[in-house]
Structure 1
């Protein structure tokens, strides 16, 4: 029991250090979402600690994803007037964006001649990890592959999102929030809060709606490709 507990403490400590470093040097390649897993993987390989042993302690961090989402209710409540004012734009944009994400992912996977299970694993990539893995399992995909693809989607989203915003000169909080929440789920939402509370709140709503729309539409969309 000692080693799993050490793994848990080490995970939290590494994340805390990387988070503080990122605040001091806010470069995209220092983002905790990328650096923390990289350090942990290197440590596990170097020390020959089995993943099951690590997960026995560190799984508590993963288990907190659900309860932590509740915290998003605070900025959402503070920005409720903005959310109500732009409700139609947010909902319609997220519906369109999440559907396009599923369609293009399935289409590209099919064009690459990937088998049905891989298509089902890749399609829900824009939803948050718990929802995406659940959808993958329901449709016949491989949840572990889905989790990796969701992580990669989040990383790409926080890397490319700011570039898109600067290139197109996007200054509207609604547009920024929908972009990050729909395209990069929780990682994108964290990035959206760097642009302001309103953008982060809208991203939170977009993330939740994306998960809902993905759950409702992915099976139908995949049916056209497999």
Structure 2
């Protein structure tokens, strides 16, 4: 029980400290999503804490992941009129992004000569973790590996996304939001909020639609590929 409580407290502490450093430094590679897990891995190895005990202590954090995702609906409600005005453009963009993400992941895996289980684990990498793991399981992939690919995608998205925005001179808040939400799910949405509330709201709905579309269509699209 002591280790479980310690694991919970140290995880929260590391995240808060890393977030403070990130806000001060404004350097994407110092994002808490990357640095916090690295610090925790080092701690577990040095302190010889079994991962099972650590996971038991932090399971409540995982439990609150889904309600936290739902909370993104608040800024969406506040910008509902803007959403309604641009819904068709957003839906077309999101559907295109989902299709490209699935097809690209599948064929990149094929080009790298990965086994089919690994490829299926990669396919839902661009949607939020809980749904991505369900999609992976439905496809016959490995949900644990999928979670890793989701994190890698998130880190890539929040690192490369701002560069893409600058290079392509994407100035429209809606376009920025769709970009981050469709490609980098919840981490991308957090990054979108750094640009503005409208970007964050549009990223929220993009993330949700992308997850739903992937959940329903990936099991039918992947066998065709």
Q: TM-score of the superposition, structure 1-length normalised?
A: 0.97
Question: Structure 1: where are the runs of 5+ without partners?
Answer: none
Match in the other structure for 2:114: 114
Partners of 2:115 and 2:41 in 1: how far apart? 29
Q: Is it true that 1:33 corresponds to 2:33 in the alignment?
A: yes
Distance 2:55 2:21 in 1: 25
Match of 1:186 in 2: 186
Give, in angstroms, the shift of residue 220 of structure 1: 2.0
Shift of the alpha carbon at 1:161? 0.1
Write the distance in 2 (CA, Å) between the matches of 1:110 and 1:25: 39
User: Paired residue for 2:23?
Assistant: 23
Map 1:50-89 → 2, pairs under 5 A:
50-89=50-89
Counterpart contact for 2:79–2:198, Cα < 8 Å: yes
The residue aligned with 2:135 is: 135
Instruction: Please list the CA deviations of residues 81-100 of structure 1 after superposition, one character each: whole Å capped at 9, or x if unmatched.
Output: 11111100111100010111
- Structure 2: unaligned runs, 5 residues or longer: none
Distance of 1:196 and 1:108 partners within structure 2: 33
**Runs (4+) off by over 3 Å:** none
Please give the alpha-carbon distance, in whole angstroms, between the structure 2 residues aligned to 1:116 and 1:88.
35
TM alignment of 1:146-185, pairs within 5 A:
146-185=146-185
Can you list the C-alpha shifts for 1:155-192, whole angstroms capped at 9, x where unaligned? 00000000000101111011100000000000000000
Aligned to 1:94: 94
Cα displacement (A) at 1:119: 1.4
- Give the paired residue count: 225
The RMSD of aligned alpha carbons is 0.9
Contact residue 117 and residue 142 of structure 1 kept, 8 A: yes
**Aligned counterpart, 2:105:** 105
1: CA distance between counterparts of 2:215 and 2:99? 11
Secondary structure, aligned partner of 1:212? helix
Residues 78-128 of structure 1: CA distance to partner in whole angstroms, max 9, x if unpaired? 111111111001111000101110001101112222222111111111111
Please tell me whether the aligned partners of residues 69 and 186 of structure 2 are also in contact (alpha carbons under 8 angstroms).
Answer: no
Q: Summarize deviations over 1:40-81 as a string: whole Å, max 9, x none.
A: 111111111110010010111111101112221211111111
Distance in 2 between residues matched to 1:125 and 1:54, nearest whole Å: 25
TM-score of the pair, normalised by structure 2: 0.98
